[in-house]
Amino acid sequence: MKRSGIKILGTLAVIAVILISCGLLVPERLMIPVQGATKADWNAKSFWFSPWGASGVHKGIDIFAREGTPVIAASSGLVVNAGYIPAGGNVVSILGPKWRVHYYAHLKTVHVTSGAFVSKGSVIGTVGATGNAAGKAPHLHYAIITQIPYPWLFKAEKYGFERMFYLNPLEKLHTQSR
């Protein structure tokens, strides 16, 4: 009897360590990624809006602010990409809790490098209009991409397979005072 109880506790401990190391038990309380922004600075209906330019669907939200306004990390994590891509312009991608990638695009400047660890609330760049946002009002395009899709939650049959990998940032952002 004692041995089986110890085995069960040992198994539970291993499972807990795995879940914690994957970030699945880490609480996720995200900050609005533009300094000083409020709900009034984005259109709540813009997530998964279609048709949206060459991509067909808008896979994040656009947070409008003055050019040069600090962009802050919505969560702590590892910078997996900091650089330039044609559509996003100057971008930063951060692997955060729950294996979710937080994608920040159209930045005027980037203040972090790939491989760096950033803390929630630290400045990672500034609001701009680079990439396919050139000539438009300065804003941050912010998206959350999950590595662990849950097709039953995202109605894959209605919205398609791709939507399983994009979370609605509006449901995740903590919009109260910081």
- Torsion sign over Cα 108, 110, 111, 117: positive
Catalytic residue among 58, 102, 106, 139: 139
Q: Pairing mode, if any, of strands 30-31 and 173-174?
A: parallel
Tally of CA atoms within 13 A in the half-sphere of 15 that contains its CB: 6
Task: Tell me the C-alpha distance between 138 and 178, whole Å.
Answer: 23
Contact yes or no for 161/86 (Cβ under 8 A): no
Task: Tell me the C-alpha distance between 66 and 167, whole Å.
Answer: 26
Q: How far apart are the first and last CA of the chain?
A: 50
Judged by DSSP in three states, 98 sits in: helix
Specify whether 58 is catalytic.
no
Q: Residue 110 is encoded by which pair of tokens?
A: 């980037």
Which H/E stretch holds residue 84?
Answer: strand 77-85
Residues with a catalytic annotation lie at 139
